[in-house]
Amino acid sequence: MFALYKKELQSFFFSPFAYVLASLFMFIFSVSFISAIADLSGMNTLKFSFPNIFYNNFFYFIFIIPILTMRSFADERRGGTEVLLLSSPLSVPKIVLAKFFSIVTIYLFMILTTLFFPIYIAGHGVVQWSALICAYLGFFLWGLVCIAVGMLLSQLTGNAIIAAIIGEIIMEGLLFLDLFGATALVNAYPRLNSVITWFSMQRRFLYFSQGMFRLEDLVFFLSLTAVVVCWNIIAIEKRRYSRS
């Protein structure tokens, strides 16, 4: 499993792919950081919230995650290496987990590049580290769900571009689940509204961005990630048995 994990990481870091995506996210985060300072430039004391920057930037980061995951299984099928991979001594769960953790490592690398900003601010002012750590945790957990969904689409479609497009649509839909739950149609059915509200990841991330750590939100994100990863494993197992 570690050998496949290492191979997947090398395929990212030995090519410009991961660095371009990390640079793109860093650029977007930098623009938001500078804009937050510019909006307060007329005040004697600058005060802004890093968690709010994370909250506002996840809309843009949604566009990056499907690009990060679209090649995970689609390239294996397109290149004809999927059969070799599935016939290797590794079990399907180990294959899926190796690919999942490799993408998570890239994702974590991209997030850690943003630590430059709070560290810089800490040298010139005050940073509320408790709220910042919660924001980082919520951002990371929400990303885990999106990575699992992107991998599932990659192996179901078999086409990297289609997987990225569908991934964008689904993740945007998850992002705006709160708005759908607030419509008059959904409000007319209280039970439906409660179900949609419970599945709203944006609402749960909002608690993290406000510096509030709730165990139920942590369990929600981890459980949903585990369920989608299991779907990946089941779908690949089904396709392998159908071929045999």
pLDDT in tens, 58-70: 677 777 888 888 8
pLDDT in tens, 72-97: 888 777 777 777 777 778 888 899 99
* Long-range CB pairs of 156-161, under 8 A, 24+ apart, other chains included: 156/235, 157/74, 158/73, 158/74, 158/77, 158/78, 159/74, 159/78, 160/70, 160/71, 160/74, 160/75, 160/78, 161/70
Q: What are phi and psi of 70, to 5 degrees?
A: -65, -25
Name which of 18-27, 45-54, 110-119, 169-178 the model is least confident about.
45-54
Q: Using CA atoms, how far apart are residues 191 and 46, in angstroms rounded to an integer?
A: 44
Domain boundaries, the chain: 2-28+47-243
Please check the confidence at residue 43 and state whether its pLDDT lies above 60. no
Residue % of the chain over a pLDDT of 90: 14
Please check the confidence at residue 230 and state whether its pLDDT lies above 90. yes
- Strand, coil or helix: what is 84? helix
- Residue 232 · residue 152 · CB < 8 Å: yes
User: Which two structure tokens, joined as six digits, stand for 131?
Assistant: 């709220």
Q: DSSP assignment of 154-216, as one string?
A: HHHH--HHHHHHHHHHHHHHHHTHHHHHTSHHHHTSHHHHHHHHHH-HHHHHHHHHTT---HH
HEC per residue, 67-79: HHHCCCCHHHHHC
Q: Using CA atoms, how far apart are residues 199 and 178, in angstroms rounded to an integer?
A: 9
- Residue 239 · residue 164 · CB < 8 Å: no
More confident residue, 55 or 1: 1
Please check the confidence at residue 223 and state whether its pLDDT lies above 90. yes
Residue % of the chain over a pLDDT of 70: 89
User: Which two structure tokens, joined as six digits, stand for 29?
Assistant: 């985060």
Q: Using CA atoms, how far apart are residues 224 and 170, in angstroms rounded to an integer?
A: 15
